[in-house]
Amino acid sequence: MKQLKNLMEDRDIALFIGRFLRVGVLTASAIALLGGFWYLVQSGAADMPDYSRFAGEGPGYTTFRGIFKGVAEGNATEIIQLGVLVLLATPIFRVFFSLLAFALEKDWLYVVITTIVLGIILFSMFGGLKI
Partner 1 sequence: MSILIFSLILLVGAYAAGLLGSLTGLGGGVVVIPLLTLVFHVDIRYAIGAALLASIANSSGAATAYIKEGITNVRLGMFLEIATTAGAVGGALIAVFTPVNTIAILFGLVLIFSALMTIRKKNEHAEQTGSKWSYVLKLNSTYPTANGEVAYKLKNIGGGFSIMLLAGVLSGLLGIGSGALKVLAMDGAMRIPFKVSTTTSNFMIGVTAAASAVVYLQRGYIDPGIAFPVVLGVLGGAFTGARLLTIMNPRTLRIIFCIAISFVALEMIYNGFNHQF
Site mask for partner 1 (CB under 8 A), range 5-24, x = bound: ------x--xx-xxx-xx-x
Angle between helices 76-104 and 64-72 (to 10 degrees): 120
Give the whole-angstrom CA distance, residue 103 versus residue 2: 17
Give the whole-angstrom CA distance, residue 55 versus residue 53: 6
Give the whole-angstrom CA distance, residue 42 versus residue 122: 36
**Residue of 62, 65, 100, 104 interacting with partner 1 (CB under 8 A):** 62
Q: Which of 64, 94, 55, 58 is nearest to 82 (CA)?
A: 64
Q: Which is nearer to partner 1, 68 or 110 (CB)?
A: 110
The helix/strand/coil state of 82 is helix
One-letter amino acid of 128: G
Site mask for partner 1 (CB under 8 A), range 80-119, x = bound: xx-xx--xx-xxx-xx--x--------x-xx--xx-xx--
Q: At closest approach, how far in Å is the CB of 76 from partner 1?
A: 8
Where do contacts with partner 1 occur on this chain (CB under 8 A)?
11, 14-15, 17-19, 21-22, 24-25, 28-29, 32-33, 35-36, 39-40, 43-49, 51-58, 61-63, 76-78, 80-81, 83-84, 87-88, 90-92, 94-95, 98, 107, 109-110, 113-114, 116-117, 120-121, 123-125, 129-131
